[in-house]
Amino acid sequence: MSGSTIIPWVVGNWKMNPLQANTQQLIQDLKQYFTAMQISAHSCHIGVAPVSIALLNAHDQFQGSMIKTVAQDVSRIAGLGAYTGEVSATLLSDSGIECVLVGHSERREFFADSAEIVKEKVKHALAAGLTVIYCVGESLAQRENGQAEHVVLQQICDIAAVVQMDQWQNIVIAYEPIWAIGTGKTASPQDAQTMHAKIREGLSQITAQAKNMAILYGGSVK
């Protein structure tokens, strides 16, 4: 994207890993690596999404560095209350967390995060001032049936009703083809670029911010 003003993002999702001792070592290694690389925060956004029990420790350790700490998920419930096990957008924001993943394929598949649930999560995250990294993607069956573009654009339309016009600037789209996650398969650069172009085209029908929104690829890489 020659001449683009879009600042790219690189985000590592740690999922349900690693153990505590390895977490500390990984944090230190990342800090040293990016300090040595001297990458400007104006040229690239770097984020890590640790497991929830390591989130605040990672956030504290990354203070003063260019590395953003990203929550892997957020509650569909706003504010405070008697909701055992939940972490709301309000609590994330109050703890200094600025970014959150929403709609990850594993949340949709394994934890029944429906379009309605995802919509509530996006709404509350944006209201709390968080940057939302919104995950979209199709299954292998959907791709083979020629439904990939429809599925992905529908996932974007799913949240359009709860995103205010000035909030689109706080959304990053992460295209993660489900068939390329943990399967050994990878999307070709052409696959990813074609879908990214379709996503931006779809976004342009919804928001004037489309041309400035970052779109990521997420999936198995080698």
As beta bridge partners, residue 9 has 45
> Contact 89/167 with Cβ under 8 angstroms?
no
The one catalytic residue in 45, 59, 104, 124 is 104
Question: What are the φ/ψ torsions at residue 52 (nearest 5 degrees)?
Answer: -60, -35
The b-or-e profile of 30-50 (16+ CB within 10 A means b, else e) is bbeebeeeeeeeeeebbbbbb
The one catalytic residue in 106, 120, 138, 176 is 176
CA 92 to chain centre: 15
Active site residue 45: no
The CA distance from 75 to 122, in Å, is 10
Mind telling me the catalytic residues? 104, 176
